Amino acid sequence: MKTEIILVLAAVQLAYGVINRINASEYARLPPLYRLDDFDGCLLAPGDKYCYFDGKILDGDSDLHTLVKEYSANLRTHFDHTLFHWGLCVTQTCRQYYGNSTVEDALDACINATLYESHQLQAKLVRNNIFCTDFGEEDPYDTSDYVVAAVFLTLLMLNIFGTGHDLFFRTNKGFLSRLLLCFSLRRNWKKLVMPSGEGPEPKLKSLKCLNGLKAMTTFLVILGHSPLTGFIAVGNPQYQEEIYHKVFFQVLLNGTLIVQTFFTISGFLLAYNILVTSEKRRVSWRTLPQGIFVRWLRLTPVYAVIIAFISTWLRHLSSGPLWKPVVNTEVLDCRRDWWLHLLYIDNYVDLSQCMPQSWYISGDMQLSIIGMAIFCLCQGPRSRKIAITIAFVIGLITPAAHTFFQNLHAVLIVSPEMAIHFFVEDLTFNNLYKRGHTNLVCYAMGLALGMLMYDLYGQEDTKDKKNHRLLFWAAFPVGLGLVMLGMIFYIDDYEPCNQSCIAAAALEEQANLLLNENGIQNLMMEQSAVFRGILEWQGWTAISRVSYCAYLIHICVIRCSLADYTSLQHISFYYIVVGPCARSVRITTTILLANPAVKQQCLHCCVAAWRTLNYCSVVCVTFMLSAPCWLLVESPVAQLIKLCLDRGNRTKPDINIKAAPPKWKDQEISNSVETVVVKTSL
């Protein structure tokens, strides 16, 4: 069996190998896709100007033009080589054209002449995509900068006072002192490293393993996104294009399916938590707005802080040839669209560079509202099951309809051109991947699973469970197979017809769902001690607590590391995988040798190491930043909200809960929804 799989894979690789690939000497004839003039060496005197822009190769009849055209026809695995991205020092490289004319005209003439001279190709500037930096240019600080700075300072002061109060006074009498204690770093740190699953509710304890799952998936998402740093300003784009033909990389590319796991887990947690809560409190339609509001309140503050930072102070952090195209575009879009984000509807608005990863948070919010509505409005298990089934069927039909009528790809294709712009222009991403309703099917499955697990809780080992165990172990080869199935979409020149696309999409989705389902179910039932052991490891707890912050921050980290490049990067396996260790050894030895001749080399090494670290350390940097984010903002605000909600009821909740009015008490709702939110926020 194994050998067969290997043979099939080898055959597929071979098939990849022969179709539409050109040899290195042909490749070298293509005009450079990226070019960056020295930035600091350009802006030396008043009047100096540096521009980063896109240029388009014009139609011609030369042999080379045909080659460029043909090679760029396959946009699934190739860059569009008719579109080049250059950063030129206008006042040096294009001096002779930049006398009387505008920058645009000068660049237009300049790139045409440059390309004509080197490649006998004609080109023109793409006029709406040009980012220029002048000598001594500074982004002025405006009111919003000052307002945000004031808010940040207030937060910081609160943290300082809170910590001081905690260290020196140690009282928690009175509202003010309890308020300050919410901000105590010492307490929040303890909360961060506190073991999980210590709550009074045994049924929630069995959710402990999901912490590990959440931490791991966050890791995977960030790791999966970090190759995005390898698509901009690459000196050797061919390496990036070749990577698509490597089986290992295919696993990464098709990892986009992982997200469906999140939705399933999220739905599962919502259903399970509501069911556990409803043992004590009646869940009615009146709890719905309350639940939505508390969820919004819990997710929004830290989100708002990060968006405020991105819209204001981020643009002042650095400068460079790529800073404006990569970072400032996000800043501008965030200034325009921040309110869409805070209302969680940004995944229905396209073409915004503002936090492109936030679609998941919005989608999850929308689906949670649907989930809460199902559980709050339908009272009996029967009506809930019917509602979930309806949601499931709707969720099943809509993606297929979108794929069919809008002529989309069945899976999200991670093509180089789309990766450059973080997918915001990708039709499949916009219409199928990021919307709330197109992810409904996974969520509905999650809800159903939550109900099922709640019913099964505490039951004896049955024959049914044994069958599940078999399925569980079958899941891994099947899952890998699914990922490999995604490879067909990357075969050059292969255009799967629409129907088979839909079939494949539906099949992948369904199979993936089943795998998730049965994985979670088995984990919950303590079937696989090894996996539970791994996932319940305490180390995951802290990571999973900061995972919401990490998810919010990570694309910004990627952007900043990208925008910090000042010269073209050369991608290699070494660069991606072994780079950091090997390079640091090399640097150390170079420094030890400390000989003038190698000094230049050392400098080169340092730059290279810094860039490599950029690539590999997205994960580290993200988590390093998200810990303070959690400590200083997320956790204090969560406690503050709880404090305010509790304030209406100072007395301890009664033990005899059945006598309570038919409504969740504030305390209860904040606790239960907090659990839901904390656990489902990623």
Ligand X SMILES: *[C@@H]1O[C@H](CO)[C@@H](O)[C@H](O)[C@H]1NC(C)=O
Residue 25 binds to ligand X (criterion: CB under 6 A) = yes
Largest separation between any pair of C-alpha atoms in the chain: 87
Joined tokens for residue 24:
């290195």
Joined tokens for residue 530:
């090894």
Residue 656 binds to ligand X (criterion: CB under 6 A) = no
User: Contact, 220 vs 544, CB < 8 A?
Assistant: no
User: Contact, 524 vs 465, CB < 8 A?
Assistant: no
Residue 154 CB coordination number (10 Å): 10
Question: Among 8, 73, 116, 539, which residue interacts with ligand X (rule: CB under 6 A)?
Answer: 116
Binding-residue pattern over the window 45 to 84 for ligand X, x denoting contact by CB under 6 A: ----------------------------------------
Kindly tell me which of 3 and 100 has the beta carbon lying closer to ligand X.
Answer: 100
Binding-residue pattern over the window 509 to 548 for ligand X, x denoting contact by CB under 6 A: ----------------------------------------
Kindly tell me which of 117 and 495 has the beta carbon lying closer to ligand X.
Answer: 117
Three-class SS state of 130: strand
How far apart (Å, rounded) are the C-alpha atoms in residues 526 and 163? Answer: 41
Residue 580 binds to ligand X (criterion: CB under 6 A) = no
Kindly tell me which of 57 and 513 has the beta carbon lying closer to ligand X.
Answer: 57
Q: Least distance to ligand X from the beta carbon of 277, Å?
A: 15
Question: Among 13, 92, 122, 567, which residue interacts with ligand X (rule: CB under 6 A)?
Answer: 122
Kindly tell me which of 56 and 465 has the beta carbon lying closer to ligand X.
Answer: 56
Joined tokens for residue 626:
């998200």
Question: Among 164, 197, 235, 653, which residue interacts with ligand X (rule: CB under 6 A)?
Answer: 653
Residue 665 binds to ligand X (criterion: CB under 6 A) = yes
Question: Among 6, 15, 26, 386, which residue interacts with ligand X (rule: CB under 6 A)?
Answer: 26
Instruction: Specify the DSSP class assigned to residue 101.
Output: S
End-to-end CA distance of the chain: 37
Binding residues among 366-395 for ligand X as defined by CB under 6 A: none
Joined tokens for residue 596:
């003038």
How far apart (Å, rounded) are the C-alpha atoms in residues 374 and 248? Answer: 41
How far apart (Å, rounded) are the C-alpha atoms in residues 121 and 117? Answer: 8
Q: Least distance to ligand X from the beta carbon of 70, Å?
A: 11
Binding-residue pattern over the window 168 to 207 for ligand X, x denoting contact by CB under 6 A: ----------------------------------------
Kindly tell me which of 110 and 568 has the beta carbon lying closer to ligand X.
Answer: 110
H or E, element range at 128 = strand 123-134
Q: Least distance to ligand X from the beta carbon of 554, Å?
A: 41
How far are the Cα atoms of 331, 448, 463, 469, 473 from residue 466, in angstroms, in the given order? 53, 20, 5, 5, 11
Kindly tell me which of 85 and 281 has the beta carbon lying closer to ligand X.
Answer: 281
Q: Least distance to ligand X from the beta carbon of 101, Å?
A: 7
Residue 102 binds to ligand X (criterion: CB under 6 A) = no
Residue 20 binds to ligand X (criterion: CB under 6 A) = no
**Which residues is 133 bridged to in the sheet?**
50
Joined tokens for residue 357:
């990863």
Q: Least distance to ligand X from the beta carbon of 451, Å?
A: 28
Joined tokens for residue 26:
């042909």
Three-class SS state of 591: helix
Kindly tell me which of 66 and 318 has the beta carbon lying closer to ligand X.
Answer: 66
Q: Least distance to ligand X from the beta carbon of 103, Å?
A: 14
Kindly tell me which of 484 and 660 has the beta carbon lying closer to ligand X.
Answer: 660
Kindly tell me which of 70 and 137 has the beta carbon lying closer to ligand X.
Answer: 70
Tell me the window of 134-142, 314-322, 564-572, 643-651 that interacts with ligand X (CB under 6 A).
643-651
How far apart (Å, rounded) are the C-alpha atoms in residues 444 and 415? Answer: 30
Amino acid identity for residue 242 in this structure? E
How far apart (Å, rounded) are the C-alpha atoms in residues 523 and 537? Answer: 14
Kindly tell me which of 120 and 171 has the beta carbon lying closer to ligand X.
Answer: 120
Residue 649 binds to ligand X (criterion: CB under 6 A) = yes
Q: Least distance to ligand X from the beta carbon of 298, Å?
A: 22
Kindly tell me which of 25 and 143 has the beta carbon lying closer to ligand X.
Answer: 25
Joined tokens for residue 34:
């990226």
Kindly tell me which of 20 and 122 has the beta carbon lying closer to ligand X.
Answer: 122
Joined tokens for residue 266:
């999220």
User: Contact, 262 vs 360, CB < 8 A?
Assistant: yes
CB closest to ligand X, residue no:
99
Question: Among 124, 465, 469, 663, which residue interacts with ligand X (rule: CB under 6 A)?
Answer: 124
| Dihedral angle sign, alpha carbons of residues 245, 246, 247, 248 | negative
Torsion angle of C-alpha atoms 97, 100, 103, 104, degrees rounded to 10 = -80
Residue 99 binds to ligand X (criterion: CB under 6 A) = yes
Joined tokens for residue 598:
């190698």
Q: Least distance to ligand X from the beta carbon of 595, Å?
A: 40
Joined tokens for residue 555:
């694309």
Kindly tell me which of 280 and 465 has the beta carbon lying closer to ligand X.
Answer: 280
Q: Least distance to ligand X from the beta carbon of 283, Å?
A: 17
Q: Least distance to ligand X from the beta carbon of 71, Å?
A: 12
Size of the site for ligand X (CB under 6 A): 17
CB half-sphere exposure, 317, CA atoms < 13 A: 20
User: Contact, 346 vs 340, CB < 8 A?
Assistant: yes
Residue 23 binds to ligand X (criterion: CB under 6 A) = yes
| Dihedral angle sign, alpha carbons of residues 331, 335, 340, 344 | positive
Question: Among 91, 112, 114, 366, which residue interacts with ligand X (rule: CB under 6 A)?
Answer: 112
How far apart (Å, rounded) are the C-alpha atoms in residues 16 and 491? Answer: 6
Q: Which positions touch ligand X (CB under 6 A)?
A: 23, 25-26, 99-100, 112-113, 116, 122, 124, 648-649, 651, 653-654, 660, 665
